[in-house]
Chain A
């Protein structure tokens, strides 16, 4: 086993592409080290990307925000501009693990770990976030929902690294929110989760909407019908009930140690309602 800390993203991609055995990217390590401890992975090469210039930064650009792959989630919460523009994304990122894990974990790691229950992913999908994917001599930008393809599986090719997550700058009258259900108040993996992102028109009606659900299918799902229900509404009681129904119906959950099919279906609808209500209020809706 080797541990290497490259200084450029190109070197990192090259190392990964050129490795003969199992190679792993180390950013926060909060998933990788747990898998190593459990014996689920024994990498031959660990590529620590934290020394790569720029990867540990959040950059504000004309188009919005670029969050580097090595930025710990705790730092997202400390960035007031990001917090103001995308409170739902930030609250989702801040829900990952404990304070201890917050100091290490990253939203890119959360995305690439490809768990259907990943906290930041429904919020990122709802936000329409994009991932910058760098490979040996390649660079492409894709929608975040295109990264995970199933539990623990991604669309990334050997040697590819997600360098950053891009979030658009905010239109007026916009708001997002993320809610998850866990049995305790902290330290749990989401049993069900919902991310909602809304923009309102001048009358306070929903103009555009994106809603994503977590832990109810093999990957986080973007529920198109939910957006259709929301658009044009002022989130009256009937709309919220329809939203809940559509979201419950969109679930394809399983029974496991964390919850039952019935529970996940029901609670997906409840969380969608509640997250939509919060996002609506954040967008200035009344």
Chain B
């Protein structure tokens, strides 16, 4: 099986890689590029732990082929902070203890970032439905929702 050569942009950097035609973008990120922030919780798009932003759309990277990244812009959790300055969402997740085990956290942060980009002032209900594609088994979501609300108000003020 011949590999597919892909040229793409990840977190603003030009990246080239070779992958198998059936290899998911998640596997490429994790196994070929060492970007293990996106997690595989299910591999079927049901848990959101592998969420990334692909050309301004939130997607599950387990449901995208690596080959599809050709010429596109990929954003992962690794690109969320600016240097050592955390994104307000990252900061608020820490302050609100919106994570326990933390394995779902990168996915939630990407989903929350996408949500606030499209709706800077969401209601609690909009946050809850906006994050419904991300499963968390530890927190009962309470502190996650509060962290997103708090981050939204900080980001509006900024």
> In this complex, what residue of A is CB-closest to B57?
A103
Q: How far is the CB of B20 from chain A (nearest CB, A)?
A: 7
A46-B65, A103-B57 are known contacts. Are A1 and B22 too (CB-CB below 8 A)? yes
A46–B20 Cα gap in the complex (Å)? 12
A2-B21, A185-B132 are known contacts. Are A103 and B54 too (CB-CB below 8 A)? yes
A203–B19 Cα gap in the complex (Å)? 63
A74–B54 Cα gap in the complex (Å)? 13
- From B45-53, B85-93, B97-105, B145-153, the one touching the partner chain is B45-53
Name B57's contact: one of A30, A33, A72 (CB within 8 Å): A72
A3-B67, A100-B48, A103-B57 are known contacts. Are A33 and B62 too (CB-CB below 8 A)? yes
- CB of B45 within 8 A of CB of A97, answer yes
A79–B58 Cα gap in the complex (Å)? 18
- CB of A100 within 8 A of CB of B65, answer no
Residue pairs across A and B with CB atoms within 8 Å: the count is 92
Does residue A99 face the partner (Cβ distance < 8 Å to B)?
yes
Does residue B24 face the partner (Cβ distance < 8 Å to A)?
yes
- CB of B111 within 8 A of CB of A100, answer yes
Contacting residues, chain B, for A36 (C-beta < 8 A): 22
- CB of B111 within 8 A of CB of A46, answer no
Contacting residues, chain B, for A43 (C-beta < 8 A): 22
Q: How far is the CB of B34 from chain A (nearest CB, A)?
A: 22
Contacting residues, chain A, for B158 (C-beta < 8 A): none
- CB of A103 within 8 A of CB of B24, answer no
Q: How far is the CB of A79 from chain B (nearest CB, A)?
A: 15
Contacting residues, chain A, for B44 (C-beta < 8 A): 34, 37-38
For chain B, the bracket of interface size reads: 20 to 34
Does residue A111 face the partner (Cβ distance < 8 Å to B)?
no
- CB of A100 within 8 A of CB of B59, answer yes
A3-B65, A187-B133 are known contacts. Are A46 and B21 too (CB-CB below 8 A)? yes
Does residue B15 face the partner (Cβ distance < 8 Å to A)?
no
Name B132's contact: one of A72, A103, A187 (CB within 8 Å): A187
Interface string of A15-45 (1 = CB under 8 A from B): 0000000000010111001101110000100
Does residue A163 face the partner (Cβ distance < 8 Å to B)?
no
Contacting residues, chain A, for B111 (C-beta < 8 A): 99-100
Contacting residues, chain A, for B131 (C-beta < 8 A): 99
Does residue A186 face the partner (Cβ distance < 8 Å to B)?
yes
Q: How far is the CB of B44 from chain A (nearest CB, A)?
A: 5
A100–B20 Cα gap in the complex (Å)? 23
Contacting residues, chain B, for A82 (C-beta < 8 A): none
Contacting residues, chain B, for A46 (C-beta < 8 A): 21-22, 65
A138–B15 Cα gap in the complex (Å)? 41
Name B21's contact: one of A1, A38, A100, A104 (CB within 8 Å): A1
Contacting residues, chain B, for A141 (C-beta < 8 A): none
Q: A46, A48, A100, A104: which has the most chain B beta carbons within 10 Å? A: A100
Does residue B41 face the partner (Cβ distance < 8 Å to A)?
no
- CB of A186 within 8 A of CB of B133, answer yes
Contacting residues, chain A, for B51 (C-beta < 8 A): 100
Q: B45, B46, B48, B60: which has the most chain A beta carbons within 10 Å? A: B45
- CB of B21 within 8 A of CB of A99, answer no
Does residue B64 face the partner (Cβ distance < 8 Å to A)?
yes
Interface string of B13-28 (1 = CB under 8 A from A): 0000000111010000
A74-B57, A186-B132, A187-B46 are known contacts. Are A104 and B22 too (CB-CB below 8 A)? no
A-B contact pairs, 10 of them (CB 8 A): A1-B21, A37-B62, A46-B22, A74-B57, A98-B132, A99-B133, A100-B133, A104-B60, A185-B129, A185-B132
- B: which residues have CB within 8 A of A? 1-2, 4, 20-22, 24, 43-46, 48, 51, 54, 57-60, 62-65, 67-68, 70, 111, 114-115, 129-134
